Amino acid sequence: MISQIITKLNQGGPIFTYPMLIFMFVIIGLLIHELIRKNNYEKTNTLMISFGWLALAWGSLGHVFGMIIAYDRVSTMGEFSMNVIGPGYHLMVLDPLLGLLTFVVARICSMVLIGINK
C-alpha cells in the first residue's frame, strides 16, 4: 500500500506532489497544534486556508506542466498514443487531484476549528 502511494507520487512528478503532501501535513499539524494550545484560532485558520489554496494552485501548475510535456512528446514522436503522452498524463491527472484533496482537507480542518471555537 505504501509502496503504491510512493509510486503514484513519483509518477505525478515529485517536484509537485511532495510539496503538496507536505502542505497537507502542515495543515493537519496546524489543526492539532491549535486544538492543543487554543491560542489564536483566526490566525491558524487563515494559515490553513492559505496552504490549501497554495496546494490547489501548485496542483494546477503541475497540470499545465503535464500538458506541456504530453504535447511536446506528441510533436516530437509524431504520434498520439498513451505510451507517448503517459508521463505528461500522470502529471495532468495526479497533481490537480492531490492539490484538490489537500484543499478539501484544509477546508475540513478549517470547519472543525471554527466549529470548536464557537
The alpha carbon torsion through 54, 55, 59, 65 (nearest 10 deg) reads 50
- Helical spans, DSSP H, in the chain: 2-11, 14-37, 41-77, 82-116
**pTM, full prediction:** 0.86
Number of domains present in the structure of the chain: 1
Grid coordinates of 81: 498514443
- Host domain of residue 7: 2-116
Phi-psi region of 78 (alpha: psi -120 to 50; beta: other; left: phi over 0): left
Digits of tens for pLDDT over the chain (118 positions)? Answer: 888 878 877 877 888 899 999 999 999 999 999 989 887 788 999 999 999 999 999 999 998 988 888 888 788 877 777 777 777 777 788 899 999 999 999 999 999 998 888 7
